[in-house]
Amino acid sequence: MGMDEPMARPDGAQLGAAAPGPPCVDRPPRAEAGHTRMSEMSDRQPSTVVDPDPIVIVGMAIEAPGGVDTAADYWDFLSQRQEGLCPLPTDRGWPIRDLLTGSCREGFKRIHNCGGF
């Protein structure tokens, strides 16, 4: 909702004291604001590119299958096009046979016996 000057200025009688001025930020009309912004931008000098490589990795966390524990392992894994899928683990107490046979029922998609572990 937009405000004009009379709406923004509180009535002194309601406050019990003289109202100093509008409590909101004074902004130019939208059309004028756009022109002001464009003129500010056109006055700037273009920045120089220091490094032509546009990609910068500032941080990285790894949780990947296939024995990948570090960022170096991950990049090796990707560059060597290794496969990260392996059979479902049998040491976790999961009912693997039930999972796989249960997915063969009508209306269910088949669950594959591989995953990223």
CA distance 101 to 111: 9
Q: Calculate the average pLDDT of the chain.
A: 72
pLDDT digit string, tens, across residues 81-102: 988 888 888 898 988 888 787 7
What CA–CA distances, in Å, run from 60 to 30, 53, 68, 72, 77?
42, 18, 13, 11, 15
| Entry pTM | 0.36
Contact call for residues 77 and 68 (beta carbons, < 8 A): yes
Which pLDDT score, from 0 to 100, does residue 46 have? 65
Which pLDDT score, from 0 to 100, does residue 4 have? 59
Closest by CA to 1, choosing from 34, 19, 22, 24, is 24
Which pLDDT score, from 0 to 100, does residue 82 have? 87
Phi, psi torsion values for 86, nearest 5 degrees: -145, 165
Closest by CA to 88, choosing from 78, 98, 80, is 98
Domain limits, the chain:
71-115
Which pLDDT score, from 0 to 100, does residue 112 have? 77
Which pLDDT score, from 0 to 100, does residue 83 have? 85
Which residue stretches of the chain have pLDDT < 50?
A: 1
Which pLDDT score, from 0 to 100, does residue 80 have? 92
* Token pair for 49: 């590119």
